Every structure is written in C-alpha cells, then in structure tokens.
C-alpha cells in the first residue's frame, strides 16, 4: 500500500475498522448461538475455539504484520491491546449504572480469577522478552509455548471453579447477571433463534472471513500511515490499532451491562486479554524467529501498564467501591488517569 495516498489509506483504515466492528458484533452473536446449541464452552476444545473466535482481528493483524516483518506493530497491538481493552471497562462502567460502579455490581470472584490469569501471562511475557533469540526452539520462543500452556491450564482451573466452587461468597447489593451467555436472558431475545444451525454456522464463517480480511487491511494501511506520519509502530499499534480492534468489545460490553450481565462484561474482557498474548506463538511461527526478544522497552512498558490496570479492577471486585462520580467508580477514574499517564510515558520513551 506504499503507493497509495494518505487520504486513501485513512479511508481504508476507517473502513476496515468499521468492518471489524460490524462483523465482530455478528460474530459475537453467532458464536453465542452456536455455543448455546452445541455446548462448545463445556469442553476444553470448545473454550479454545470460542477464544479464537473472539480474537480474530488481533489474529489477522498478527499474521499480516509478522509476515511483513513489522514486529513493532505485532508487539504494540498484542501487548498494548491489553491496556486498551482493559480500559474498555471504563466505558462499560459508564453504562452500567448512574449510581453504582460496575465492580460493585459484578458480585462474583470468577472475573477476579480471570484477571489474575491475565496478570500471570503478562508477567511471563515480560520475562520472555529478556531471553536471547538463541534460546529459540525451532524458531519459536519457549516462553511463547509456556504462555499457551499457562493459558490452557488457567482455563481448566477457572472452568472447574465455575462449575464447583469450594467457597461461598455473599456480595450484598450485587447484580452479577447470567453466569454464562448460554443461559437464556429473561428479557432479551436469543440471537438467530428462528434460524437453523447450518445458517448460523455459515454466518459465523462469513463474519470470520470479513474480520480476517479487515484485520489484514488494518495492519497494512495502519503500518503505512504510521510510517508516513513518523509515528512509532509500537505507539500506533498500542493506540489507534488496538482501539480499532477493541470496537467489538466496546459494543458487546455495553450490550452486556445494559442487560444486567455485569459479570460477563468484565469476564469477557479479561478472558480475551488472557488469550491475546498467546498469539505471540503464532507470530513466532509466521516470522520464523522469536518475536518476544524484539518487543523492546516500549512494549515492556505497555505490559506493565496492562498489569497495573488489570490489578486495579481485580482489587475493586473485592473491595467493591459503592459510589459513582461522574457516572464512574473510583476504580475507573483511576484507570483513566493511569492509562493517560502510561501513554504519556510511552511517548517519552519513544523519543
């Protein structure tokens, strides 16, 4: 796309972002319908498939950027996406209630466990960035493999706790909503209830293809725009690109809190973040070398920022702030301030 003018690149980037948003919403509804009909999430393989379906934009961008050798964009999108998508909870908080913070309404420790898994995988990622490329196993960083193993093990533990918790928690005043999307909502119609499973599967496939194609356009047009504007690839990937791929999460998060599914809104964000870093293994395979050692100081900064933002919300689920200020809980206000300071610090590092 280097031969295209800047206005055309901006239009392509905006169109791809819009396509990602629209297809992401359709993909989410189709995934929920298939999960309900086929009980995908009950099995480990089904949980993996659902996680992949929810991260198709990031997957497409990872493959396109790694194939083009733009490893800064890979790291900025994957690592920076953790901070951006955690900040999506600020938007969910604003729509959850005018008086009560989202973290007060969650009423479950399952999202806290999912947040802890995000912190653990991000910490392992930061450790892997310190290893030399010579430690690669068949062109793949052993830490990329370790992150996938940790994610699978964490999924297994969280699923076991969800099915048979070994404790009882009473959170007075909470409104967690449905424990899982396959549970019918009393006031919301089920998606594609009148359509056959074959139709839903075909729609799922079409939305997946659109999302993958849009992700490639986002990566290529975004990389060209960043080069022409003189913007660091890490910064572009951690801001504009991560925000574009987070649009479906914003839509589904707002829809969830409006239905009263506060536990799902937070759990979906943490669940997507935990899987996202596993895509470093795919980046290694495409680039034919370990990507983690190349992420540099800026992505390490973003990883630490993601840990900090996740920790704020995990702690808030336990502490449960009771009042909103300007429609936000104190935790969300803190996240906004920390995220803003983090981006300023990132820009300082880039210069």
Write the pLDDT tens digit of every residue in 93-130: 999 988 899 999 999 999 999 999 999 999 999 998 88
The pair of three-digit structure tokens given for residue 228, joined into one six-digit string: 């022409």
Tell whether 340 is covered by a domain: yes
DSSP string of 288-309, one letter each residue:
TS-SGGGSHHHHHHHHHHHHHH
**pTM for the structure as a whole:** 0.89
Position with higher pLDDT, 269 vs 137:
269
Q: Which residue range(s) make up the domain with 137?
A: 6-166+197-350
Mapping DSSP onto H, E and C, the string for 20-61 reads: HHHHHHHHHHHHHHHHHHHCHHHCHHHHHHHHHHHCHHHHHH
Q: Is 295:129 a contact under the CB 8 Å cutoff?
A: yes
Number of domains making up the chain: 1
Residue 37 is predicted with a pLDDT of: 78
* Residue 179 lies inside a defined structural domain of this protein: no
Per residue in 215-247, is it b (16+ CB within 10 Å) or e — as a string?
A: bbbbbbbbbbbbeeeebbbbbbbbbbbbbbbbb
Residue 189 within a domain? no
In a domain, 283, yes or no: yes
Q: For residue 136, is pLDDT > 80? A: no
pLDDT tens-digit profile of 164-181? 888 888 898 889 888 777
Residue 104 near residue 266 (C-beta atoms within 8 A): no
Provide the CATH number for the domain around residue 335: 1.20.1420.30
In a domain, 184, yes or no: no
Domain-located, residue 182: no
pLDDT of residue 1: 61
In a domain, 180, yes or no: no
> Which tens digits make up the pLDDT trace of 17-38?
898 888 888 888 888 788 777 7
Q: Would residue 224 count as lying in a domain?
A: yes
Q: Are 298 and 226 in contact (CB under 8 A)?
A: no
Distance, in Å, from the CA atom of 184 to the CA atom of 338, rounded to the nearest integer, reads: 37
């Amino acid at each position: 796309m280097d031969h295209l003018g800047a206005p055309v690149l901006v239009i392509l980037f905006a169109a791809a972002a819009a396509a990602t948003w629209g297809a992401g919403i359709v993909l989410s509804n189709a995934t929920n319908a298939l999960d309900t009909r086929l009980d995908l999430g009950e099995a480990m393989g089904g949980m993996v498939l659902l996680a992949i379906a929810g991260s198709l934009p990031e997957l497409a961008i990872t493959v396109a950027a790694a194939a083009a050798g733009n490893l800064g964009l890979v790291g900025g999108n994957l690592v920076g996406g953790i901070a951006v998508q955690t900040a999506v909870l600020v938007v969910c908080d604003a729509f959850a209630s005018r008086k009560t913070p989202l973290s007060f309404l969650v009423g479950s420790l399952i999202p806290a466990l999912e947040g802890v898994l995000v912190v653990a995988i991000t910490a392992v990622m930061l450790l892997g960035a310190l290893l030399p490329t010579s430690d690669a196993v068949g062109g793949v960083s052993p830490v990329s493999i370790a992150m996938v193993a940790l994610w699978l093990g964490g999924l297994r533990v969280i699923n076991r706790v969800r099915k048979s918790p070994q404790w009882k928690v009473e959170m007075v005043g909470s409104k967690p909503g449905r424990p899982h999307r396959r549970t019918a909502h009393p006031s919301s119609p089920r998606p594609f209830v009148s359509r056959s499973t074959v139709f839903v599967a075909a729609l799922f496939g079409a939305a997946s293809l659109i999302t993958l194609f849009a992700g490639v356009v986002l990566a290529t047009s975004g990389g060209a725009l960043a080069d022409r504007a003189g913007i660091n690839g890490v910064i572009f990937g951690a801001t504009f690109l991560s925000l574009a791929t987070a649009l479906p999460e914003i839509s589904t998060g707002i829809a969830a809190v409006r239905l009263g599914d506060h536990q799902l809104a937070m759990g979906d964000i943490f669940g997507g973040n935990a899987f996202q870093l596993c895509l470093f293994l795919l980046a290694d395979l495409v680039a034919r070398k370990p990507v983690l050692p190349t992420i540099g100081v800026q992505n390490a900064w973003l990883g630490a920022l993601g840990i900090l933002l996740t920790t704020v919300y995990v702690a808030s689920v336990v502490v449960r702030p009771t009042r909103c200020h300007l429609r936000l809980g104190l935790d969300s206000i803190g996240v906004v301030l920390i995220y803003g300071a983090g981006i300023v610090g990132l820009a300082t590092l880039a210069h």
